[in-house]
């Protein structure tokens, strides 16, 4: 089944930028032949996290991948335990967007979500519905990178969630060697902004955040929190 696929990644709480970019690219939520794929990192850093959730809930045809920031947020919502990286990665900005003035116990570094169960459940349900990867006839979509080759060479479905979680933290700029990551398909990823792609293309301008097309690789993260832009990759492919 041939679909027109609109691929975005790492909106990080910037809903207005995301919607404007998709509108400019021609995405039509009412068109059954249009499919929206997001390669993860929906929240944190920006201040429109609640709007981002509402936007993706409205989209009819979608595939939502899990990013490393989804892992961080889900663990915090499930445990209430705040860790130092929750501040560094912007998770606390997301909590303030959703819950306003939350209660943080300074002794135990825990948050009391009492009375906010419905919102917590809604966010957790969204996060738990995200997937490790998505595969079409000619492409594989991930957040960061693939798990170790020996684990996914034959069947991506057989790779454990633990290995996928580790792979979400891998930077494509470290993992990509100029060789095709997959034998027969093109890998599409986010997680690491494309303004680092000059490492692989001497003709590319410094701080160029446009989509990077490598050898069997397409990197699309525009570093939205810094550049205030969202890349939209538009391709046509058959679903499998």
User: What confidence tens digit (pLDDT) does each residue in 74-115 have?
Assistant: 999 999 999 999 899 999 999 999 988 777 888 888 988 888
- Give SS3 for 145: coil
pLDDT band at 153 (very low <50, low <70, confident <90, very high): low
Taking the C-alpha atoms of residue 146 and residue 151, their distance in angstroms, rounded to an integer, is 9
The bridge status of strand 2-8 relative to strand 233-238 is antiparallel
| CA dihedral sign of residues 52, 57, 62, 64 | positive
Give residue 103's pLDDT: 73
Q: Looking at the predicted structure, is the pLDDT value of residue 154 above 90?
A: no
Q: Looking at the predicted structure, is the pLDDT value of residue 49 above 80?
A: yes
Give residue 105's pLDDT: 83
Give the position of tokens 């045809």: 61
| Domains in the chain, CATH or no CATH each | 2-238 (3.60.21.10)
pTM: predicted TM-score of the whole model, two decimal places? 0.95
| CA dihedral sign of residues 235, 133, 198, 150 | negative
Give residue 132's pLDDT: 97
Give residue 100's pLDDT: 83
Give the Cβ contact number of residue 238 at 10 Å.
10
User: What confidence tens digit (pLDDT) does each residue in 199-221 have?
Assistant: 999 899 988 999 999 999 999 99
Q: Looking at the predicted structure, is the pLDDT value of residue 69 above 90?
A: yes
Q: How far is CA 144 from the centre of its chain?
A: 8
Could you tell me if 67 and 168 are in contact, meaning their C-beta atoms sit under 8 angstroms apart?
yes
- Give SS3 for 25: helix
Give residue 19's pLDDT: 98
In the chain, pLDDT over 70 holds for what percent of residues? Answer: 98
């Amino acid at each position: 089944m041939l679909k027109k696929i609109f691929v975005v990644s790492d909106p990080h709480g910037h809903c207005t930028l995301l919607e404007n970019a998709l509108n400019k690219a021609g995405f039509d939520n009412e068109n059954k032949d249009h499919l929206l794929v997001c390669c993860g990192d929906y929240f944190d850093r920006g201040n429109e996290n609640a709007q981002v959730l509402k936007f993706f809930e409205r989209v009819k045809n979608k595939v939502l991948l899990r990013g490393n920031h989804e892992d961080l947020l889900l663990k915090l919502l499930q445990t209430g335990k705040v860790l130092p990286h929750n501040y560094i990665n912007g998770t606390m900005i997301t909590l303030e967007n959703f819950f306003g003035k939350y209660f943080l116990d300074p002794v135990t570094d825990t948050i009391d979500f009492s009375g906010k169960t419905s919102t917590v459940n809604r966010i957790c349900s969204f996060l738990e519905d995200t997937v490790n990867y998505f595969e079409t006839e000619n492409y594989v979509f991930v957040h960061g990178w693939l798990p170790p080759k020996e684990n996914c060479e034959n069947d991506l479905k057989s790779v454990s969630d633990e290995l996928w979680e580790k792979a979400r933290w891998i930077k494509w700029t470290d993992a990509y060697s100029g060789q095709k990551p997959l034998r027969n398909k093109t890998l599409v990823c986010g997680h690491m902004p494309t303004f680092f792609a000059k490492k692989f293309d001497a003709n590319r301008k410094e701080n160029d955040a446009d989509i990077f097309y490598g050898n069997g690789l397409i990197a699309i993260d525009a570093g939205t929190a810094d550049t205030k832009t969202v890349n939209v990759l538009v391709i046509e492919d058959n679903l499998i």
